[in-house]
Amino acid sequence: MSDKRGRHEPQPIRHAARGELCTVQIAGLCRHNTETTVLAHLPFEGGIMGGKVSDLSSCFACDACHSVIDGVRPWPGDEGAHRDWYLRRAMVRTWRRLVEKGVITIEGGHQP
Return the active site residues: 41
Taken in order 87, 88, 89, 93, the sign of the CA dihedral is positive
Q: How far is CA 62 from CA 17, 29, 68, 107, in A?
A: 10, 10, 10, 30
Give the C-alpha separation, 40 to 17, whole Å: 9
CA–CA distance, 86 with 84 (Å, rounded to integer): 5
- Using CA atoms, how far apart are residues 33 and 18, in angstroms rounded to an integer? 11
